[in-house]
Amino acid sequence: MKSLSLTGRIIVFVVLGAFILVPLAQTILISFVSTLPRDGIPEGHFSLVNYKNILLSPVLKEAILNSIIYVLLNVALCLGVGLPAAYAFARYSFVADRQLFFLLLVFRITPTVVLSLPIFVLFAQIGLVNTPVGIALVHCVFNIPISIWILEGFISAVPRELDETAFLDGHTLVSFFFRHLIPAVAPGIGVTAFFCFIFSWVEVVLARILTTTGGKPITMAINALFGFRTDVGLVMAMTVLALVPGIAMIYFVRNHLAKGFVVRT
């Protein structure tokens, strides 16, 4: 294997960047174009009308809010139950620990569509359909395993002496978690939140079956925009807005991703 020169590498990265950005660029361009005939704005010309229409539409604004609510709830839930579980897997051995870890990974690779019908039936019975809470809960099925898997690696990398001195100092498990463990694995929490966010934000199968009449997230609100005369510009503007939180998230964790993280089984 020959090592690539600096120029060679730069060329590869530029080609890669173009491959990623060019399809998106078109979407962003169209989002600034009026694609339906309207009074005062010639069709196909630059305008902010699509973004203005989103602001004027209560349905679309609610969808953005719903998406943000469910994704935040989901990340909080996954971190809240994932951190203690990851700590247990990293520090202790207990009856059936490997089997349990394996079971969790099985649910990470279970196709979500397999679970969609019974989840719809179950959630309909307990009144969790058409609400962001239901989506937040159901996305835990693949996000809890991933958060335990990532956090376990980060916690394992923390020397055990941190725990031992803290307990000698009289910390309870809870105060140890908040005073010592969480600050020590902060980058890990960032990376975990990032992965939970991306997997939850983009998921459409479960989100669709759980929001037939209300509580629709951005993805489903976009689906509803398609019709007899689809306003492509509006669709693209919604898509661009749907990207903003994700890109912000990527930006915040970029250095932690770039530093790399250790994961093990």
Partner 1 sequence: MKQYDNRAWLLVLPALVIVTFVGILPLIAVTNYSFLDLFSLNNPYWLGVEWYRNIVASERFYSSLGRSFLFSAIVLSIQLPLGIWIALLLQRSHRFIVSTVLVLITIPLVVPWNMIPMIWLNFINPNVGLAGRMLEWSGVGFDYKFNALHTWIVLVVMDTWHWLGLVVVLSYAGISSIPPAYYQAAAIDGASRWHIFRFIQLPKMKTVLSMALLLRFMDSFMIYIEAFRINAGGPDGATAFLSLDLGEEIQAFNYGPAAARSIVHFLIVMTVAWAFKAATGTRKPVAMEPVR
Supply the minimum distance, in Å, between the C-beta of residue 70 and partner 1.
Answer: 13
Supply the minimum distance, in Å, between the C-beta of residue 26 and partner 1.
Answer: 5
Question: d(Cα 113, Cα 2) in Å, to the nearest integer?
Answer: 44
Residue placing its CB nearer to partner 1 in the complex, 39 or 96: 96
SS (H, E, C) 27-46: HHHHHCECCCCECCECCCCE
Site string for partner 1, 15-54 (x = CB under 8 A): -xx-xxxxxxxxx--x------------------------
Nearest CA to 218 out of 107, 71, 100 is that of 71
Instruction: Tokens for 25, please give them.
Output: 């660029």
Supply the minimum distance, in Å, between the C-beta of residue 225 and partner 1.
Answer: 10
81 binds partner 1 (CB under 8 A): yes
- Number of residues in contact with partner 1 under rule CB under 8 A: 95
Residue placing its CB nearer to partner 1 in the complex, 56 or 205: 205
3 binds partner 1 (CB under 8 A): yes
Instruction: Tokens for 159, please give them.
Output: 């020397």
Site string for partner 1, 98-137 (x = CB under 8 A): --x--xx-xxxxxx-xxxxxxx-xx--------------x
Residue placing its CB nearer to partner 1 in the complex, 49 or 145: 145
Site string for partner 1, 219-238 (x = CB under 8 A): x--xx--------x--xx--
Member of 77, 166, 193, 210 binding partner 1 (CB under 8 A): 77
Residue placing its CB nearer to partner 1 in the complex, 48 or 102: 102
Member of 60, 75, 87, 129 binding partner 1 (CB under 8 A): 87
For residues 32 and 181, the answer to whether their CB atoms sit within 8 Å is: no
Question: d(Cα 78, Cα 136) in Å, to the nearest integer?
Answer: 10
Question: Which span sits near partner 1 by CB under 8 A: 4-12, 45-53, 54-62, 182-190?
Answer: 4-12
Nearest CA to 29 out of 252, 232, 225 is that of 232
Instruction: Tokens for 64, please give them.
Output: 């953005």
Work out whether the CA dihedral 248, 253, 258, 262 comes out positive or negative. Answer: negative
Member of 64, 73, 129, 138 binding partner 1 (CB under 8 A): 138
Instruction: Tokens for 129, please give them.
Output: 């359909």
**CA–CA distance from 127 to each of 115, 121, 137 (Å)?**
18, 10, 13
254 binds partner 1 (CB under 8 A): yes
186 binds partner 1 (CB under 8 A): no
For residues 261 and 191, the answer to whether their CB atoms sit within 8 Å is: yes
